[in-house]
Amino acid sequence: MLPGLTNAGTLKRANPPGQHGARRKGKTSDYKERLVEKQKLRFHYGILEKQFRRYVAEASRRKGPTGRILISLLESRLDNIVWRLGLSPTIPGARQLVVHGHITVNGQRVDRPSFSVKAGSTIGVHSKSKAKPFVQANLEQAASRVRPAFLEFDPALATGKLLVEPQREDLPFTCDPQKIVEFYSQQL
Protein backbone atom coordinates (compact mmCIF):
# COMPACT_ATOMS: atom_id res chain seq x y z
CA MET A 1 0.00 0.00 0.00
CA LEU A 2 1.29 3.44 -0.88
CA PRO A 3 0.54 5.69 2.10
CA GLY A 4 0.04 9.00 0.28
CA LEU A 5 -2.76 7.95 -2.03
CA THR A 6 -5.60 6.97 0.28
CA ASN A 7 -6.56 6.37 3.87
CA ALA A 8 -8.46 3.16 3.06
CA GLY A 9 -6.79 -0.21 3.41
CA THR A 10 -6.05 -2.01 0.18
CA LEU A 11 -7.54 -5.29 -0.91
CA LYS A 12 -5.12 -8.08 0.01
CA ARG A 13 -5.40 -11.09 -2.25
CA ALA A 14 -3.41 -14.28 -2.05
CA ASN A 15 -3.54 -14.72 -5.84
CA PRO A 16 -3.82 -12.49 -8.90
CA PRO A 17 -7.40 -11.93 -10.13
CA GLY A 18 -9.04 -14.27 -12.61
CA GLN A 19 -9.99 -17.91 -12.94
CA HIS A 20 -6.41 -19.09 -13.38
CA GLY A 21 -4.81 -16.61 -11.01
CA ALA A 22 -3.62 -19.23 -8.53
CA ARG A 23 -1.69 -21.12 -11.24
CA ARG A 24 -0.17 -18.02 -12.82
CA LYS A 25 2.93 -17.77 -10.71
CA GLY A 26 6.35 -17.53 -12.20
CA LYS A 27 9.68 -15.83 -11.89
CA THR A 28 9.51 -12.12 -12.54
CA SER A 29 11.93 -10.70 -15.06
CA ASP A 30 14.51 -8.02 -14.25
CA TYR A 31 12.55 -5.63 -16.45
CA LYS A 32 9.35 -6.23 -14.46
CA GLU A 33 11.12 -5.65 -11.15
CA ARG A 34 12.52 -2.34 -12.40
CA LEU A 35 9.17 -1.30 -13.88
CA VAL A 36 7.32 -2.11 -10.66
CA GLU A 37 9.76 0.02 -8.61
CA LYS A 38 9.40 2.93 -11.05
CA GLN A 39 5.60 2.70 -11.09
CA LYS A 40 5.48 2.48 -7.29
CA LEU A 41 7.34 5.78 -6.99
CA ARG A 42 5.38 7.42 -9.82
CA PHE A 43 1.98 6.43 -8.43
CA HIS A 44 2.89 7.44 -4.89
CA TYR A 45 3.75 10.99 -5.94
CA GLY A 46 0.98 11.09 -8.56
CA ILE A 47 3.13 12.33 -11.43
CA LEU A 48 3.04 11.43 -15.11
CA GLU A 49 5.73 9.56 -17.00
CA LYS A 50 7.14 12.60 -18.81
CA GLN A 51 7.58 14.57 -15.59
CA PHE A 52 9.06 11.55 -13.80
CA ARG A 53 11.57 11.10 -16.62
CA ARG A 54 12.58 14.76 -16.18
CA TYR A 55 13.19 14.15 -12.48
CA VAL A 56 15.40 11.15 -13.31
CA ALA A 57 17.30 13.19 -15.91
CA GLU A 58 17.83 16.02 -13.40
CA ALA A 59 19.02 13.54 -10.75
CA SER A 60 21.51 12.00 -13.18
CA ARG A 61 22.88 15.47 -14.11
CA ARG A 62 23.63 16.39 -10.50
CA LYS A 63 26.75 15.18 -8.70
CA GLY A 64 26.28 12.31 -6.28
CA PRO A 65 24.31 9.06 -6.20
CA THR A 66 21.45 9.37 -8.69
CA GLY A 67 18.97 7.32 -6.64
CA ARG A 68 19.41 9.43 -3.51
CA ILE A 69 19.12 12.66 -5.47
CA LEU A 70 15.94 11.40 -7.18
CA ILE A 71 14.31 10.61 -3.83
CA SER A 72 15.38 14.01 -2.50
CA LEU A 73 13.88 15.79 -5.53
CA LEU A 74 10.58 13.93 -5.21
CA GLU A 75 10.33 14.27 -1.43
CA SER A 76 10.94 18.03 -1.59
CA ARG A 77 7.93 18.66 -3.89
CA LEU A 78 5.53 21.12 -2.26
CA ASP A 79 2.49 18.81 -2.46
CA ASN A 80 4.46 16.04 -0.74
CA ILE A 81 5.73 18.39 2.00
CA VAL A 82 2.17 19.62 2.66
CA TRP A 83 1.02 16.00 3.02
CA ARG A 84 3.97 15.03 5.23
CA LEU A 85 3.32 18.04 7.50
CA GLY A 86 -0.23 16.72 7.97
CA LEU A 87 -2.02 19.67 6.38
CA SER A 88 -3.85 17.19 4.13
CA PRO A 89 -4.71 13.49 4.61
CA THR A 90 -3.51 12.50 1.10
CA ILE A 91 -1.11 13.76 -1.59
CA PRO A 92 -3.95 14.45 -4.07
CA GLY A 93 -5.67 16.49 -1.34
CA ALA A 94 -2.42 18.36 -0.69
CA ARG A 95 -2.09 19.04 -4.43
CA GLN A 96 -5.57 20.57 -4.42
CA LEU A 97 -4.72 22.78 -1.42
CA VAL A 98 -1.63 24.05 -3.25
CA VAL A 99 -3.38 24.63 -6.60
CA HIS A 100 -6.21 26.56 -4.91
CA GLY A 101 -3.70 28.92 -3.29
CA HIS A 102 -4.10 27.92 0.36
CA ILE A 103 -0.36 27.28 0.90
CA THR A 104 2.53 29.75 1.24
CA VAL A 105 6.28 29.22 1.05
CA ASN A 106 8.34 31.82 2.93
CA GLY A 107 5.24 34.05 3.08
CA GLN A 108 4.59 33.96 -0.68
CA ARG A 109 1.56 32.16 -2.09
CA VAL A 110 2.60 29.24 -4.33
CA ASP A 111 0.13 27.41 -6.57
CA ARG A 112 2.42 24.84 -8.22
CA PRO A 113 2.40 21.38 -6.59
CA SER A 114 5.75 20.54 -8.20
CA PHE A 115 7.44 23.56 -6.58
CA SER A 116 10.78 22.42 -5.15
CA VAL A 117 11.06 23.39 -1.49
CA LYS A 118 14.60 24.20 -0.36
CA ALA A 119 16.03 23.38 3.07
CA GLY A 120 15.25 26.15 5.55
CA SER A 121 12.01 27.20 3.82
CA THR A 122 8.88 27.82 5.84
CA ILE A 123 5.62 26.31 4.60
CA GLY A 124 2.35 27.61 5.98
CA VAL A 125 -1.35 28.05 5.43
CA HIS A 126 -2.37 31.39 3.89
CA SER A 127 -3.88 33.76 6.47
CA LYS A 128 -7.29 33.95 4.71
CA SER A 129 -7.46 30.16 4.41
CA LYS A 130 -6.97 29.43 8.14
CA ALA A 131 -10.64 30.22 8.86
CA LYS A 132 -11.99 27.68 6.35
CA PRO A 133 -13.60 24.62 8.00
CA PHE A 134 -11.71 21.99 5.98
CA VAL A 135 -8.38 23.66 6.82
CA GLN A 136 -9.35 23.77 10.52
CA ALA A 137 -10.20 20.06 10.42
CA ASN A 138 -6.86 19.23 8.75
CA LEU A 139 -4.97 21.34 11.32
CA GLU A 140 -6.63 19.46 14.19
CA GLN A 141 -5.56 16.14 12.68
CA ALA A 142 -2.07 17.49 11.90
CA ALA A 143 -1.37 18.22 15.57
CA SER A 144 -1.30 14.50 16.44
CA ARG A 145 0.33 13.25 13.24
CA VAL A 146 3.80 11.68 13.23
CA ARG A 147 6.21 13.59 10.98
CA PRO A 148 9.59 12.66 9.53
CA ALA A 149 12.76 14.04 11.11
CA PHE A 150 13.46 16.47 8.25
CA LEU A 151 10.27 18.47 9.03
CA GLU A 152 9.20 20.54 12.00
CA PHE A 153 5.61 21.75 12.49
CA ASP A 154 3.97 24.36 14.74
CA PRO A 155 0.21 23.67 14.89
CA ALA A 156 -0.56 26.97 16.65
CA LEU A 157 0.85 29.03 13.75
CA ALA A 158 -0.05 26.41 11.09
CA THR A 159 3.50 26.55 9.73
CA GLY A 160 6.16 23.98 9.11
CA LYS A 161 9.80 24.10 8.17
CA LEU A 162 11.96 21.90 5.98
CA LEU A 163 15.06 21.49 8.14
CA VAL A 164 17.31 19.46 5.81
CA GLU A 165 17.00 17.77 2.42
CA PRO A 166 15.00 14.52 2.62
CA GLN A 167 16.89 11.24 2.23
CA ARG A 168 15.97 7.76 1.02
CA GLU A 169 15.47 6.54 4.58
CA ASP A 170 12.67 9.09 4.99
CA LEU A 171 10.40 7.40 2.43
CA PRO A 172 7.19 6.09 4.04
CA PHE A 173 7.50 2.80 2.08
CA THR A 174 10.26 0.54 0.81
CA CYS A 175 11.75 1.39 -2.55
CA ASP A 176 14.93 0.56 -4.46
CA PRO A 177 15.92 3.70 -6.40
CA GLN A 178 18.82 1.86 -8.01
CA LYS A 179 16.34 -0.23 -10.02
CA ILE A 180 14.66 2.98 -11.23
CA VAL A 181 18.02 4.36 -12.36
CA GLU A 182 18.70 1.07 -14.13
CA PHE A 183 15.30 1.24 -15.82
CA TYR A 184 16.10 4.64 -17.33
CA SER A 185 19.80 4.02 -17.95
CA GLN A 186 19.32 3.10 -21.63
CA GLN A 187 16.65 5.72 -22.30
CA LEU A 188 18.51 8.82 -21.12
**In terms of Cα–Cα distance, which of 179, 171, 173 is closest to 38?**
179
- For residue range 100-112, what is the model confidence (pLDDT) as tens digits? 999 999 999 999 9
- For residue range 38-62, what is the model confidence (pLDDT) as tens digits? 999 999 999 999 999 999 999 999 9
> Does residue 46 contact residue 52 with C-beta atoms inside 8 Å?
no
* Domains of the chain, each with CATH number or no CATH: 30-76+177-188 (1.10.1050.10), 81-164 (3.10.290.10)
- The vertex-127 CA angle with 121 and 131, nearest 5°, equals 130
**Measured between alpha carbons, how far is 184 from 129 in angstroms, rounded to an integer?**
41
- For residue range 73-104, what is the model confidence (pLDDT) as tens digits? 999 999 999 999 989 999 999 999 999 999 99
Q: What is the pTM of this model?
A: 0.84
Which class for 182: exposed (0-12), middle (13-18), buried (19 or more C-beta within 10 A)?
middle
Residue 39 pLDDT: 93
Which class for 113: exposed (0-12), middle (13-18), buried (19 or more C-beta within 10 A)?
buried
